[in-house]
A and B are shown apart, each in its own frame.
Chain A
Amino acid sequence: MQQITEVIEKAIGSIPFEQLLREFMLYSTKEPWFFTEFSFLFVFGIFLFFYAILFTQNSLRKIYLIAFSLFFYYKSSGPFLVLFLFQIGVDFFFAQRIDRTEGTSKRVWATIAVLFSLSFLLYFKYANFILANTNWLLLTHFEPVDLFLPIGISFYTFQSISYVVDVYRKEIRSSTNFLDYAFYMTFFPHLVAGPIVRAKDFLGQINSPESPDARRYKESLFRIISGLLKKLLIADYLGKYVDMVFENPAFYTGGENILAAIAYSFQIYFDFSGYSDIAIGLALLLGYRLKENFDNPYGSSNVTEFWRKWHISLSSWLRDYVYIPLGGNRKGSFNTYLFLFLTMLIGGFWHGASWQFVLWGAAHGLALAFHKSLHKHLPNGRLMDFLGGIITFVFVTFCWIFFRARDFDTALIMLNQMFTLTSEVDFMGFWFSRNELAILLIGLLIWIIIPSNWKQKGFETSFYIPSFFWFIFLFTALQLIIQFRDTLVQPFIYFQF
């Protein structure tokens, strides 16, 4: 016992607290703060302790949470915090103007507000894309601008647009309390990579967070732990193989390229749904409920269902603020297909300033239009659902190739390898040489076939485990992550969008 105490005392004595604190307070572009950072989890624990003390003091609790959220954003994006605050202030002002006016001036204010929000996104995300394409089209020689994309800008821009438009449509009243609006915009669990939260779903919760009880505590920890494991164990492990093949697809057989595309399908799902799980879990622990962002999307039997279950907050945003305003299904069949296509084109472009994303969006738009035109003529039944599920998964995986590949050439090389150099020997070779990965991929394919309600039942059953054990689960999960994680943790894929 004395020896243990001595070792611990020695260890504590060797911790350079001052240096750690100094480094922690600084912002570094190379080390932005993620939910997966252990320093975040530790600081979150301290934050939560004082949050519990302030929980019943409404104003203090809000100010405290906003301050922590701003610090979180500072650690992720540094000086862009100022820009973010400016945008929040101006949006708040615009929304009040829109609420108070009617007729043409209301429309003018709403247009200005939307354009204002979009202007930052257009500048930071699309300026170089526009310049490069202008140079190509008009043979001009504009130099690319050296820009750093503020983390989360795509997400919070869509949030502020939804707020302004909802006020314009009179679906909600503009917030009269700046603190409430700042709370909604800065709430750190959804700040940098979604889910995209609507003001009408969130503003009402701000002053009456859910009371913390045993069920919510367990549910939160379950989401946080499973999110961490999804991201750090599964997605990052798959990412190793995916990176290797996508870097030089010509070095690999057709079979290995096919398996890399499948591995990427799972990587992006476990990466982003893992992030969403952590975000939902953290919010729930603080008393706020964010909407689900994924619902077993690879179990979908058609592409329409897939988009109802994949990145739900984005697809529903696009439906409500792009597809329906364009005309939705109110202007005839042809226009419906056209609007679907345009909506997905915008959705693709939202992911990044590249023609690959546009193509990816266009392919999904065409598939949605095709399915809409055909689905009434298709027979129903389990067999059809199963076959549809396979076709949907293959199609989605095929599209991911363009989404992930470095450029078009790489994507085409991959496809060439797949279609011309695949034989059953490739898969046998893969099984023998990458046995663990092969088993993982088979396991994940089985996982998507398991019905959602079974998984939900398992999730509910876990709540019978006494509260104390959840601390042990958290500790064990963190040590497991250390034990098996890669040398370098990959940043969340959706941080770049």
Chain B
Amino acid sequence: MKRFYLFWAALGFILACSALYLYSYIPNTYLVADQEIKKLFEIETPVQRVEKIIEAAKIDTIPTYVVPKDTAKMVYSDISEPVLSDSSLDDSTRHRVILIGDSEAGGIKNVLNDYCQSNGHKLVATVEWASATTLNFAKSDTISKIIKRYRPTFVFVLFGLNEVLAKDYLTRKALAKSFHKRLNGIPYAWIGPTNWGNDYVVSDAFQAAADSAAFFSSKHLVLPKAVDGRHPSLPGYRIWMGNVANWLQESSRWKMRMMPPGRYGYPKKYKAIVLNAADYRGY
């Protein structure tokens, strides 16, 4: 009897799986050829630490009175329209789109609606969760329910403005990964927060949590600001959306047709859900 092979196979399964399990519990992440070696699972933040995170999230929330100086002179006409690839014109997929995000999502929703309608997509619902952070999106099942309710084929995600000053990379990444699971495998475009110069870790944390080429970092964009000094102005949102649309057609993981709309102000047929984290934290 050559039972050696049975023992050898048993050890093979045990060692291979143990190594993968163990790697999931190691806090560091390693790269091979610039590619992150993904883990079997992400360790969920223990329940006892939630209060700590909530406290951190409160501290990180941006005060509204800060106005970055470098955007003061910008006007819409200075920004050229995105260059579109010919290939993207051929895709005729018509999506059921939902938009999920914080107050910046609330600002961009009408522009997105124009893009969707002029390209044959249908924006079915928007979730504008003002003052919300990754914590709200990750911990609550609100988003899962909304996704189940509206059955989108494509999800736009836009939040992070309220936590650009956060420096706890690992916590943000863990929370972002928890949120990512809520997307349930539906194709998505995850747009990072913009309009702020001091994004310490949040865009990087989102990028690490998202699938490759599914995250659009907005850190490099300098957009005209609204009078509150915190959010982009309407031309700012249009420039932003133009860049996102360009990326969506040329290099995103899930490409979709997003030509510039011939006009703005399409009828708003979507369900607009407005929440405020101060009243409704979701978990």
- Tell me the A residues contacting B by CB distance below 8 Å: 7-8, 10-12, 14-15, 38, 41-42, 44-49, 51-52, 55-56, 211-214, 216-217, 220-221, 240, 244, 247-248, 251-253, 256, 285, 425-426, 428-430, 432-434, 467, 470-471, 474-475, 478-479, 482-483, 486-488
Contacts and interface: CB of A to CB of B under 8 A. Distances in A.
B10 A52 contact: yes
B16 A478 contact: yes
Q: Is the interface of A mostly helix, strand, loop or mixed?
A: helix
Nearest to A217: B5
Nearest to B36: A483
A214 B4 CA distance: 9
B3 A212 contact: yes
B40 A42 contact: no
B90 A285 contact: no
Contacts of A488: 181, 184-185
B58 interface: no
Contacts of B20: 38, 478-479, 482
Interface residues of B, number: 53
22 contacts: A7-B28, A8-B26, A10-B27, A42-B13, A42-B14, A42-B17, A44-B13, A48-B9, A52-B6, A56-B3, A214-B2, A248-B153, A251-B94, A256-B92, A428-B90, A430-B91, A432-B88, A433-B93, A433-B257, A474-B13, A475-B15, A482-B40
Interface string B213-233: 000000000000000000000
A354 to B, nearest CB: 21
A217 B9 contact: yes
Contact of A483 (B37, B93, B94, B257): B37
Given A12-B25, A217-B6, A432-B90, 12 more contacts: A7-B28, A38-B21, A38-B40, A45-B10, A213-B2, A213-B5, A240-B185, A248-B96, A252-B93, A429-B91, A467-B8, A487-B183
A221 B21 contact: no
A216 B16 CA distance: 20
A23 to B, nearest CB: 12
Contact of B9 (A251, A285, A475): A285
A486 B185 contact: yes
B93 A251 contact: yes
A433 B84 CA distance: 13
A471 B16 contact: yes
A217 B10 CA distance: 11
B17 A45 contact: yes
A426 B93 CA distance: 10
A48 B26 contact: no
Pick the 3 closest A-B CB pairs, nearest first. Answer: A45-B13, A429-B90, A432-B87
Contacts of A214: 2, 5
A51 B6 contact: yes
A306 B202 CA distance: 54
B17 A433 contact: no
Contacts of A247: 151, 153
Given A212-B3, A248-B153, A482-B39, A253 B12 contact: no
B255 interface: yes
Given A475-B19, A482-B38, A45 B12 contact: yes
B7 to A, nearest CB: 5
Given A38-B17, A45-B10, A433 B185 contact: no
Contacts of A434: 255
B121 to A, nearest CB: 9
A85 to B, nearest CB: 28
Contacts of A252: 92-94
B18 interface: yes
Contacts of A217: 5-6, 8-9
Contacts of B95: 251
Contacts of B5: 212-214, 216-217, 467
B82 interface: no
Contacts of A12: 22, 25
B257 to A, nearest CB: 8
B25 A11 contact: yes
Nearest to B6: A52
Nearest to A475: B16
Contacts of B180: 487
B11 interface: yes
B82 to A, nearest CB: 17
Contacts of A479: 20, 37
A14 B35 CA distance: 26
Among A212, A240, A478, the most chain B Cβ lie within 10 Å of the Cβ of A212
Contacts of A38: 17, 20-21, 40
A471 B7 contact: no
Nearest to A47: B10
B88 A433 contact: yes
A487 B18 contact: no
B88 A55 contact: no
Nearest to A428: B90
Among B28, B43, B185, B256, the most chain A Cβ lie within 10 Å of the Cβ of B185
A211 B17 contact: no
Contact of B1 (A11, A46, A55, A429): A55
Nearest to B184: A488
A473 to B, nearest CB: 9
A424 to B, nearest CB: 10
B1 A212 contact: yes
Nearest to A55: B3
B187 interface: yes
Contacts of B6: 48, 51-52, 55, 212, 217, 285
Nearest to A287: B6
B12 A471 contact: yes
Interface string B34-56: 01011110010000000000000
Interface in B152-175: 153
